[in-house]
């Protein structure tokens, strides 16, 4: 048993099957069933926000997992922006991809990725499912949006390469996603099967450009997408398609690392077949590491292992394919940095930012002339209308934007002084003319939500002191976005607070000067 744990290798088919599985679990400590699975060769786990209380707790958790199996992959969705697990309780101290693309400084992108990698190393994580290298060509995309570096393939490619190189310099493996590209969708693959009905030539010119760059930069893993591309495979989503994974990713793009699935509990992957059969088909298609979901059980793993064993026994899945996948996973895990032995205080993994850093972030905002004019005369903010557009499953319920900011630099704080009105589906804005002004509307992807559009239109119909702040991906015409921040992380929220605070402060100073004796 000791020798098996040291190498993970062997002729045991069941152990090899377990090595390809990456479940999630409930709680902040490893349950006994999970530790037993690790001793039997389980490939790893995916860490979610609810598994994390503090940096030190996560370090202890990961240490316990890797004691049970030194070749365990500890994966996490830490994208350095809206999607965060390390900072799920308070929002991420990073700008996020879309804003990095707007600023277009690859050195800054590299510094952000390095900071993410150092935080992951400090807590014992070995793989991050990042960067998102999708080209967000569809502004109505409900699941990618600001997770993308942008809509220009060349821009996305250079930032994808910088992110991959920087984070992997820390020892953490990157995972460029979601192959072959989830940017041109208007459907969330968590909930349905999106279709990208474009020819291969378009994919080569647009979606595949950043993946080529990420592979050239040395990305250790690539994550698949649960999307249907009928010009490549009329029957199978990418995760389950040998033509896409073996023919395109392995063959044409020459990727030799670990192919990892997006979560198989998503409708786009298992809505038709169920998770065990989806696992069989994903392995047969060429996937090596199978993300199962977010809250899995011992019984679910049994069902998957038994389905794969049956597929091998029935001749549907060659045993060599399972062995090949398991060998790739073990090779990936074997290069991971060790879990630190010293305790890491929570503040130790969080980069610190000063006013100059936040000014750089605010410099990436897109601000209309009308917004600047209204803010120039706004000596305060009377009402903040908070638009709650529902939970993006990939992001979860992490605090966002100014509402994640505990303290603000501006004194007195315009945010603390303003009344907060929450508008959501089923809770429309009432009596917009009676709100104290000026009015600041803050939300994400405002144009995608009919109730948000209705609230903004009602405000604009009766008053001229309204400024809208879209912290998501705005529509092409910017009709509902006076200020576009291209991200809603806590750091971006801090930059918004200071940006509005500076405008309010300037307006107050101007008002005081005009009102002073002898000043016309």
Q: Are strands 383-388 and 21-22 parallel, antiparallel or unpaired?
A: unpaired
pLDDT of residue 343: 66
Whether 332 and 478 share a structural domain: no
Tell me which of 318, 345, 372 is where a domain ends: 345
Q: What is the DSSP letter of 167?
A: H
Question: Kind and range of the H or E element at 500?
Answer: helix 490-515
Q: How many other CB atoms sit within 10 Å of the CB of residue 354?
A: 8
pLDDT of residue 512: 60
Whether 361 and 296 share a structural domain: no
φ, ψ at 368 (rounded to 5°): -75, 160
Tokens representing residue 229 in the block = 């591309």
Exposed, middle or buried, 148 (CB in 10 Å: 0-12/13-18/19+)?
Answer: buried
Whether 158 and 287 share a structural domain: yes
In terms of pTM, does the model score above 0.85? yes
Q: Can 353 be counted among the known catalytic residues? A: no
Whether 85 and 149 share a structural domain: yes
Tell me which of 326, 345, 364 is where a domain ends: 345
pLDDT of residue 346: 52
List the catalytic residue out of 190, 226, 447, 449.
190
Q: Are strands 221-224 and 175-179 parallel, antiparallel or unpaired?
A: parallel
Whether 363 and 228 share a structural domain: no
- Report yes or no on 227 lying in a domain: yes
Tokens representing residue 382 in the block = 């009377």
Q: Can 159 be counted among the known catalytic residues? A: no
Cβ contact 137:86 at 8 Å: no
Cβ contact 446:488 at 8 Å: no
Strand order in the sheet with 366-367: 366-367, 483-484, 466-470, 439-443, 383-388, 419-424
For residue 99, give its domain range.
2-345
CA 446 to chain centre: 19
Cβ contact 78:130 at 8 Å: yes
Whether 372 and 226 share a structural domain: no
Dihedral sign, Cα of residue 159, residue 161, residue 165, residue 171: positive
3-class DSSP state of 88: coil
Rounded Cα distance between 379 and 509, Å, is 8
Whether 420 and 312 share a structural domain: no
Mean pLDDT, 10 residues at a time, the chain of 520 residues = 39 92 96 97 97 95 97 97 96 97 98 97 97 96 95 98 98 98 85 88 97 98 96 96 98 98 87 92 98 94 97 97 98 96 73 91 97 93 95 89 73 81 95 96 97 97 97 96 98 95 87 51
Strand order in the sheet with 175-179: 175-179, 221-224, 258-260
Rounded Cα distance between 58 and 122, Å, is 9
List the catalytic residue out of 77, 82, 132, 262.
262
Q: How many other CB atoms sit within 10 Å of the CB of residue 36?
A: 12
Omega prior to 131 cis, within 30 of 0: yes
Cβ contact 437:447 at 8 Å: no
Q: What is the 3-state secondary structure (H, E, C) of 244-298?
A: HHHHHHHHHCCCCCEEECCCCCCHHHHCCCCHHHHHHHHHHHCCCEEECCCCCCH
- Report yes or no on 230 lying in a domain: yes
Rounded Cα distance between 396 and 83, Å, is 8
Cβ contact 239:283 at 8 Å: no
Exposed, middle or buried, 519 (CB in 10 Å: 0-12/13-18/19+)?
Answer: exposed
- Report yes or no on 41 lying in a domain: yes
Cβ contact 282:291 at 8 Å: no
Tell me which of 319, 345, 371 is where a domain ends: 345
Burial state string for 50-82 with b = 16 or more CB within 10 A and e = fewer than 16? bbbebbbbbbbbbbbbbebbbbbbbbbbbbbbb
* Among 242, 245, 311, residue whose Cα is nearest residue 276: 311
Whether 340 and 391 share a structural domain: no
Whether 321 and 202 share a structural domain: yes
pLDDT of residue 9: 44
pLDDT of residue 460: 98
Report the domain count for the chain.
2
Whether 337 and 357 share a structural domain: no
- Report yes or no on 453 lying in a domain: yes
- Report yes or no on 129 lying in a domain: yes
- Report yes or no on 520 lying in a domain: no
Cβ contact 400:82 at 8 Å: yes
Whether 374 and 338 share a structural domain: no
Whether 114 and 204 share a structural domain: yes
Q: Are strands 383-388 and 366-367 parallel, antiparallel or unpaired?
A: unpaired
CATH number at residue 84: 3.20.20.300
Rounded Cα distance between 423 and 420, Å, is 10
pLDDT of residue 427: 96
- Report yes or no on 47 lying in a domain: yes
pLDDT of residue 328: 98
Helices (H), 8-93: 13-19, 32-39, 55-68
Question: Kind and range of the H or E element at 467?
Answer: strand 466-470
β-pair partners for 45:
74
CATH number at residue 411: 3.40.50
């Amino acid at each position: 048993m000791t020798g098996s744990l040291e190498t993970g290798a062997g002729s045991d088919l069941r152990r090899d099957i377990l090595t390809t599985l990456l479940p999630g679990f409930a709680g902040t400590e490893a349950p006994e069933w999970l530790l037993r699975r690790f001793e039997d060769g389980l490939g790893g786990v995916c860490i979610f926000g609810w598994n994390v209380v503090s940096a030190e707790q996560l370090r202890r958790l990961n240490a316990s997992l890797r004691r049970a199996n030194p070749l365990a992959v500890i994966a996490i969705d830490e994208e350095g922006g809206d999607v965060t697990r390390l900072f799920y309780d308070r929002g991420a101290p990073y700008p996020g991809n879309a804003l990095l693309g707007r600023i277009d400084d690859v050195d800054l992108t590299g510094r952000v990725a390095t900071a993410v990698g150092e935080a992951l190393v400090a807590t014992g994580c070995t793989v991050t499912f990042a960067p998102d290298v999708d080209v967000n060509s569809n502004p109505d995309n409900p699941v990618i949006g600001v997770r993308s570096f942008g809509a220009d393939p060349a821009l996305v490619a250079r930032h994808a390469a910088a992110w991959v190189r920087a984070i992997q310099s820390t020892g953490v493996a990157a995972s460029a996603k979601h192959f072959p590209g989830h940017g041109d969708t208007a459907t969330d693959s968590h909930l349905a099967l999106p279709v990208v009905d474009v020819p291969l030539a378009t994919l080569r010119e647009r979606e595949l450009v950043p993946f080529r760059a990420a592979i050239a930069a040395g990305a250790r893993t690539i994550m698949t997408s649960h999307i249907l591309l009928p010009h490549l495979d009329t029957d199978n989503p990418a995760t389950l398609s040998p033509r896409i994974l073996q023919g395109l990713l392995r063959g044409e793009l020459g990727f030799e690392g670990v192919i990892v699935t997006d979560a198989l509990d998503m409708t786009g992957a298992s809505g038709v077949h169920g998770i065990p059969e989806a696992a069989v088909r994903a392995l047969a298609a060429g996937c090596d590491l199978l993300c199962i979901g977010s809250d899995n059980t011992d019984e679910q793993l049994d069902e998957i292992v038994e389905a794969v064993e049956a597929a091998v026994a029935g001749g549907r899945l060659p045993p060599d394919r399972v062995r090949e996948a398991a060998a790739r996973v073990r090779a990936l895990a074997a290069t991971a940095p060790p879990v630190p032995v010293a305790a890491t205080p929570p503040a130790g993994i969080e980069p610190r930012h000063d006013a100059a850093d936040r000014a750089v972030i605010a410099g990436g905002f897109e601000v209309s002339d009308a917004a600047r004019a209204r803010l120039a005369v706004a000596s305060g903010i009377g009402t903040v209308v908070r638009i709650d557009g529902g939970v993006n499953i990939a992001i979860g319920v992490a605090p966002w934007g100014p509402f994640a900011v505990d303290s603000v630099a501006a004194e007195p704080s315009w945010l603390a002084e303003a009344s907060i009105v929450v508008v959501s589906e089923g809770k429309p804005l009432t009596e917009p003319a009676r709100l104290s002004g000026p009015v600041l509307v803050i939300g994400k992807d405002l144009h995608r939500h009919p109730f948000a559009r209705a609230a903004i239109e009602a405000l604009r119909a009766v008053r001229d002191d309204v400024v809208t702040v879209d912290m998501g991906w705005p529509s092409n015409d910017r009709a509902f976005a006076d200020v576009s921040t291209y991200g809603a992380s806590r750091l971006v929220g801090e930059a918004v607070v200071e940006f509005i605070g500076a405008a309010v402060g300037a307006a107050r100073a101007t008002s005081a000067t005009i009102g002073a004796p002898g000043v016309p």
